[in-house]
Every structure is written in structure tokens, then in C-alpha cells.
Structure 1
Amino acid sequence: MPTATTTVLDLDEQLLGPLLVAEVESYLRAVAERPAPAPVPVPAAAAYRPEPGTAWYQMALAVAADPAPTPGRTDTRPEAGPWWAGHPLPVPTLTDRIRGRRPVAPVTAAQHLQLMDRYIAEHGWTQGQLWDREGRVCVLGAHLKVLAAGYGTPGTAWQARLLIGNQLGRLGHPIRVDTWNDQPDRTQADIHHLLRAAANPT
């Protein structure tokens, strides 16, 4: 009980001390009784992270970082029509201009595969090399050409590669798509069938 000689400061300390303790105890009880928050589901795309150590991914990073003119635009045959039709052209942002980097048009992994399919249909397909002098590409070359054109990121291309690998597994060919591409009995029709099935798994 405060006495007549108690100062205002002493009175504040005597009253606020117990009140503060009571408030902290009340908060701790509320926290203990509060149900734990439900775990946040991880999006499917986030579960697939590129492996930075792979040579393929290093190539994809180098292509994405190269601010040079888009190779997919300069070698398109006019009579074939643009393989990127229906997708917005990548438009550089202010940050892209400041950093001197290639603009990116967001696409899903499935859309990346569809663009690869159309790129090969327009430019042709080859084996044993990324691309030849005529502009024909293998599957890996198509990945890099679509990426260089600004459609998706290296992570998008990696997810698309995983979809291809899954489809090869369903077909009974659990091998790298680059090896599958270069097999002697492979045809361009096989390539289109694989890319379309990987983009639209049933």
C-alpha cells in the first residue's frame, strides 16, 4: 500500500510492474492456446529447382544473361510465319535497360515446350549438335533458342526439361533427352510427338 511519502515515480513502478507481468503472462497464454498455422503448400513449380552444377543449366544461364540480339528472330524464314505467334513479344522494362539484360516474357514450362515444338517445325531438326548452319536445332538447341528469344527463364526451361524426362519415362526411355535425340532411328516426327505429349501429359 503506498504511503504518504511515496513519490509519483515509486507509485508508477509499483503499479506498472505487476500490470506488465500480467500482460506478458496473458499474451503467452494466448500464444500457447492459439492453434498452429496450417503449413503453406509449396507450388508444384517451386518443387523443381534447377541444378546449378549441371553444364546444361550453366549454358541456359549464359544464354539468358546475353544481351545480344535475339537469335530466334533473325533466322526466321518469312514464308514460315513467326514461331512465337500468339505470345507477347518480350518488352524491356526500365530495369532491363539499366542492367543491359534481355527482356523476358513469362511463359509456363508447357508453353516453353510448345514454343520449342513450333521452333523445330519452322527451322528444322538436327542431331549431334545444338544447331547447324541452316538453323536446324536439336531438342537442347530448341530449349536455348526459345530461351534466348526471351520466353521464360532458365528455371522455366529446366522445368520443361523435367516434363520431357517424365514423358520419356512413361514411354519406357528413362534416358537423357539429348541421348534420345541423337539415336540413329530417331525422326523429327518423334521429336514433335514427345514435345507435345510432355506439354500436355494425360
Structure 2
Amino acid sequence: MTVATAPEAPTLELSADLLVAEIEHYLAARVRTTAHPLVTKTTAELIAEALGTPAAAPAPAPAFTEPPRLLRLLPDWVLSVPLVRQLHGGYGRTVTPAEHLELTALVIERYGWTQGTHRSRSGRRCILGAQAVLYRLGYGDDRTVAAAADHLQDALAARGIHQPYHQWNDDPNRSRDQVLALVREAASAARSTR
């Protein structure tokens, strides 16, 4: 009898540069959707149209490449060291709790999901691990992360679950799809409470 197994997520370790490029690409795409609903063009497109010049093409999504060996060996806390941040372009920006949760889902989706640890050797992340790397990269501050955590807890409470979300993540019966659904549900709730 043949047993089917779930496809493995990429076994590549997290690269700060690659993750930042993906986050910035994601946030740039979100700018268009957060404009007034009657505005269908970006500011750059409107300016180009007014000046009669062609608008610049949107940047393509970053290609996934093998991260540098050094970044695979360094722990995540190193990402928050000012010198390391400067070497990688001083990334980070203010994000809303909803965006922080959307980026948390992006990290889990892109680098894989794990249980029982914030980060596996292959770069997979639990919910807390994904939030931690975003925080260390500068995408959200203490208040942003705390508000995102509150939205996660509220989403669990709406399901009748009262354990902390990091314990819920580590339940042996939990799946990656369930985790992503919870994070996205919390992000949706956070968007509606702005």
C-alpha cells in the first residue's frame, strides 16, 4: 500500500534580504487596495497620466534564491542588531496590526509552519516565530504585536477556545491550514476595527 504524504515546504532558511523584499512587495501591492474605493489608479499612475508620460511598470515579485549561509546560521535576534539592520538596508516600517497579521501569514506560507519551537532548523515558523521575525525586522512595534496577539486571541475565543494562541498552534492535531485560517481571520477582524 502506498502512503501519500503532504508536500514539504521549502527547506531553505530565512534570508533577511529576501524576506524584506517579499514584505515590501506585499505592502506595495496593498497600497493600491487601501486607497479610496472610487480611485482605481495609483498616485504614480495619476501623475504619469497628467504629465502624459507612461507610468513605471510595477516591480516584479522577488525571485526565491538560496539565502546566504551566514543568515542560515544566525539566530533571529541578530536581525534586530542595528549594525546588521544597516547592512541589510535599515528595513522596517510602521504597519497596522492587520498588516502585521497578514505578514505573519505570508511568513508561514512562504517559509513553512512548525510546532513546538519558534523556528525550525529549516526556517519554518510557528505563529509566534513568524511574529517575532517581523518584529525584529522592524515591521511593527510592541503595541502592534500586542494588538495582533489580542486579535488572534479574540478569533480563538469566538470559536470557543480559551487557550493562548501559541499553545493552540502547538496542539498535535493542528494543521498549517488551520493556523493560516486563524491568522487571516484575525487580520480580517483587525482591518474592520481600524
Relative to the length of structure 1, the TM-score reads: 0.53
Give the 3-state SS of the residue equivalent to 1:128 in structure 2.
Answer: coil
Q: Distance in 2 between matches of 1:86 and 1:182?
A: 28
Give the 3-state SS of the residue equivalent to 2:26 in structure 1.
Answer: coil
Q: Distance in 2 between matches of 1:72 and 1:166?
A: 32
1:172-187 pair list within 5 angstroms: 172-187=160-175
Offset at residue 75 of structure 1 (A):
6.3
Offset at residue 73 of structure 1 (A):
1.8
Give the 3-state SS of the residue equivalent to 2:27 in structure 1.
Answer: coil
Alignment-derived partner of residue 48 in structure 2: none
Structure 1: segments with no counterpart, 5+ residues? 1-70, 89-96
Number of aligned positions between the proteins: 119
Q: Report whether the alignment pairs 1:82 with 2:19.
A: no
Look up the equivalent residue of 2:134 and give its one-letter code.
V
Flag the structure with larger Rg: 1
| Cα 1:159/1:72, change in 2 over 3 Å | farther
Structure 2: segments with no counterpart, 5+ residues? 1-13, 29-81
Offset at residue 172 of structure 1 (A):
1.1
Offset at residue 83 of structure 1 (A):
4.2
Q: Deviations over 1:72-103 (max 9, x none)?
A: 52465xxxx82442326xxxxxxxx8xx9865
Look up the equivalent residue of 1:134 and give its one-letter code.
S
Offset at residue 155 of structure 1 (A):
1.3
Alignment-derived partner of residue 166 in structure 1: 154
1:28-107 pair list within 5 angstroms: 73-74=16-17, 76=19, 82-87=22-27, 104-107=92-95
Alignment-derived partner of residue 111 in structure 1: 99
Look up the equivalent residue of 2:145 and give its one-letter code.
A
Q: Any conservation in 2 of the 1:125–1:136 contact (CA below 8 Å)? A: yes
RMSD of Structure 2 on Structure 1 (CA): 2.6
Relative to the length of structure 2, the TM-score reads: 0.55
Alignment-derived partner of residue 135 in structure 1: 123
Offset at residue 154 of structure 1 (A):
1.6
Give the 3-state SS of the residue equivalent to 2:148 in structure 1.
Answer: helix
Q: Any conservation in 2 of the 1:109–1:157 contact (CA below 8 Å)? A: yes
Percent of aligned pairs sharing the same letter: 30
- Bigger relative contact order (CA 8 A; separation at least 6): 2
Look up the equivalent residue of 2:177 and give its one-letter code.
A
